[in-house]
Structures are given as structure tokens and as C-alpha cells.
Amino acid sequence: MSAPDDGAAKRRLPIGIQTFREVRGEGYYYVDKTAHVQRMTDGGKHYFLSRPRRFGKSLLLDTIKELFEGSEELFRGLAIHDRWDWGRPHPVLRLDFGGGDFEQPGWLSEDLTLQLEAIERSAGVAVGSGSAPARFRRLIAELRERSGRRVAVLVDEYDKPILDALGTPEVARANRSFLRGLYSVIKSCDAHIEFTLLTGVSKFAKVSIFSGLNNLTDITLDPAYSTICGYTERDLDEVFAPELPGLDRGEVRRWYNGYSWLGAEKVYNPFDILLLFRQRKFKAHWFETGSPKFLVDTLLRRGVPTPDLEGMVGTEALLSAFDVDEMAVEALLFQTGYLTITGEDAETGLSQYRLGYPNREVRQSLNERLLVALLPDAARRLAQKTSLRRLLADNDFAGLEALLRAVFAGVPHQWHTRNNIRDYEGYHASVVYSYFASQGLDLVAEESASGGRADMVVRSESGVYVFEFKSVERASGRALAQIKEKGYANKYLRLGRPVHLIGVEFSREDRNIAAFEVAQAA
């Protein structure tokens, strides 16, 4: 990578700017995505793209809108400029479900009617009354007839009316049914349509919402489009070079890079990067703009131990399966951006994707929220957590044991019986894992070794810590013995740092630590 040019002129940071004309015309930084758009228009007609929130989907759609409307002056110097026929503009019909309270019954129909009326007024056409799908169909046909050219149909946040109402399933189902009828119009109007792109966070099953629109090309996991949203390392070096001096690039990568949609390059969350450049602080910028309450509630309701999140696997079909009545945890985590693809196994002929946290921001912040849900006393938790890093740095294992005992001592008896983690060991392991992960420590759950998998491995400058957790009737020493017998620590001996073996046994009766044994690997 080339070194940042300290003498390059700074531009404005496009934080929250979703209008291509404003970005290009008012001195904002812009990462050119038009080569991807060219690839789409050359290779097909109807497309679907899923990406997490605040990843640049709205700006992408607005770019495409200006392209089809023939706004040539905005594209000078961009990859697509010399490859586009600027003499043949097309009418554009863009729907945006980004606003509104779609949990309210009937709001979706009212919102769409207002959008269609605004498009009609802007285009100077009147298609009359009727159902929303019928009005949508007539509007597409009228725009084609008036202009003599086919229409570009763009839909932003196509799934938000359903996602907003997941807490009230009957409304979510009604919204799903409504949208199924609306989107089926796109297929029936194919002769009048030049190009279609629907974007959203989730990929709903075709049988639920796209049953009438089965000609969409899904580019969500197409390696050719893996960087269509988000920033690459090259983008940071070439576009944002004036913002980089003074920032530790290693920390930038650890905090915000790591999202993968099967391409050769991983990408940064753009919202995080822009807020980092403005505030010059490493924080959970993206995470703090949304509430993962539904996700956290779902994980706890289904009894998913938090260490399991790091080792999930799924096929493409599973990662694309999302519906009101059937929601795979893997799909929910992947589509919302809390997990990303870390590897692929295709030995059986059926690709299996390994999932993991994309970066420090997500791992630390999500586990902070999970810890709040797992432990009832948030004030006690926050006070105790501050000493964890110091105890590890000092290798103060007596202090670490006392700290963890204090954590579990604050959990009321009834809390153990009403949480849905599938067993005591799973609950205690979840608390310990999330406790460490919420500190931003470098850790791995279920770390593979020659003899099996260690429950948790923590790496720090002071050493490597290999943990094994057991739920027991009484202290037995089995946890520490298993680490030694299975050789869980062997792979870390070559690192040249002390390797500590920590066996933690939880008493089923006392619901606290029955044994906390430490040894150093030879």
C-alpha cells in the first residue's frame, strides 16, 4: 500500500449524506462504485442486494438513479463515464421504505400511496385510484409510454416494513403479504422495465415475499460484487489519504475492517470510518446507532450460549433464510452484520460458510449487551469489569478467581432457573466469555487443538490463557486435567510467551465456582 500523502487536500466527510448529487457537487469524499453498476447493467436486468444497515445502500441507489436520468456532469472522472450512453436517459421510479412506523396496521399502504402520488406529481402523470399494486403497475406503464423508454425501478429498504413489525407478528405477516403483491408487479411489467435493484438488510425467502418475483439475480454473495458497499484498504489509501495521518492503521483494521461477502477483499464499515475520521476516537460508532434488542432477546430465548456465536456455520440457503415465522439465528446474525463469513468449506460439494465476528467493535459491543442480559446487576458488572485487564496483565490469578466469584455471587437463584441457556455450564461459560469479550480482549471460543477444542483462549501481551469450563457436583480437577491431557496449549508454546492453563469448575448446587485451578504449560 502506498503511504498517505500528508499534502493532499482534505474534503468534507459524507456522514449521513445519501444523495449522490450532493456528494459530488459539494466537495465530499466519494468512493467510486460505478464500475460495479456498469457490471450490473451489462450483465443482467433485475437484481437484489442485501447489506447491513449504514453500509451505503441508499447512496448506491441514488447513484443509479442519477445515472439512468442522464446526469452526466456528476459522473465525470468516474469509472462509468466513458462507457455510458448519456444520450438515452430513462425514467426512474424509486421507492424508499426507510421512514415510517410500519408496526402500525395500515401504515404501509398509506406510506406507499403517498410515495406514488409524489412520483406522479413529479412526472406530471395521473394514474387514478385503486390498490397500490395496480397503481404501481399503471405508473410504470405510463412512464414508459410518456418517455418512450423503459423504466428503472429502484427500491430502498424493501424489507423494513416487515423488520419493523417483527415484535407484532400479525402486522409483519400483513406487511409481508402486501409487499409480495407489490413486488410481483415488477415481473409482470418486465417489458416496460430497463433495470431493477432492490436493497435491504435481510434476504427473505422467495416463497414468502419474492414468490411473484422469481427472476431476481441475488448478488449478495457474488464475489464480483463483494465490495459494492463498504470501503477497501485501497479506498482508505487513495480516497481518504488526508485523514489517515495520526491514526494507527493496525487499530483501524482491528476495530472496523473484516466484513466479507466471499470476495478476495474484506471491507470496512463506511459509517465507522467516517465517524473515526471526524472524532479521531476508536469507538463503537456503528453499533451505537442501532439497538440489537430483538437479536439479544432471540439469542437468549433460544438458549444460544454466547461462545457458540464465534463458531457458527451455514449453507448459502441457510444464511439467506429469513422470515417472520422461521428465522435461523445464523441468518439473523449474518444479515444484520453482527457476524460475517470467515471461511468456506466446499469438500462435500455443498458450500458451508464459517461465521465469526467481523471486528473488535462488534465482538466487544454485542457481548457487552449480552452480558447485561445475562447478569441482572449492571452496576455491579460495570464496576467489576474495570479490573479484569489489570488482573491479566499482573497474572493475578487469585484476584481473577475472586473477581469471577463476585460476579456469580451477584446472580439471584431464580435467575439461573429462568434463563434459557441450555445448561449451567453453558450459562456460566456464556457469562465468562461475554465478560472477557466486552473488554475488547483478543480471545477465541472453541479454539481447535490436536486433541479437541479448548473452551476459550485469551491472548495478551502478558501471556496466553487457555480456559476449560466444567459443570460439576463437587470439585474434581477434571477441567485442568482435560487441558493437559488433550494438549490444548501445545500450539501456543512456540509464541515465546507464558502459557497459562486455567480450569474452572462450576458447582451445580452452589451456582458459583467450585474449583479454579491454574498451571503453566511446560
What does 234-246 look like in DSSP terms, one character per residue?
Answer: HHHHHTSGGG-TT
Predicted local distance difference test score (pLDDT) of residue 381:
61
CATH topology of domain 375-520: Trna Endonuclease; Chain: A, domain 1 (3.40.1350)
pLDDT at 421 over 60: no
Name the pTM for this structure. 0.91
What is the domain partition of the chain in residue ranges?
20-225, 233-284, 375-520
Predicted local distance difference test score (pLDDT) of residue 165:
92
Say which residues have a Cβ less than 8 Å from residue 126's Cβ, sequence separation at least 6: 120
Rounded mean pLDDT, 390-418: 80
Q: Estimate the crossing angle of helix 132-147 against helix 169-188, to 10 degrees.
A: 30
Q: How far apart are CA 55 and CA 60, in angstroms?
A: 10
Among the residue ranges 47-61, 67-81, 94-108, 408-422, the one predicted with the least confidence is 408-422
pLDDT at 88 over 70: yes
Mean pLDDT of all residues belonging to the chain: 90
Tally of helices (H runs) and strands (E runs) in the chain: 20, 13
pLDDT at 509 over 90: no
Rounded mean pLDDT, 473-499: 92
Among the residue ranges 193-197, 372-376, 478-482, the one predicted with the least confidence is 372-376
Q: How far apart are CA 139 and CA 124, in angstroms?
A: 11
Domains 20-225 and 375-520 share a fold: no
Of 359, 301, 56, which is closest to residue 166 (Cα–Cα)? Answer: 301
Confidence of residue 1 (pLDDT cuts 50, 70, 90): very low
Predicted local distance difference test score (pLDDT) of residue 2:
36
Rounded mean pLDDT, 348-360: 88
Of 248, 153, 240, which is closest to residue 192 (Cα–Cα)? Answer: 153
Predicted local distance difference test score (pLDDT) of residue 511:
82
- Reported as a single tens digit per residue, the pLDDT across 26-53 is 999 999 999 999 999 999 999 999 999 9
CATH topology of domain 20-225: Rossmann fold (3.40.50)
Predicted local distance difference test score (pLDDT) of residue 5:
45
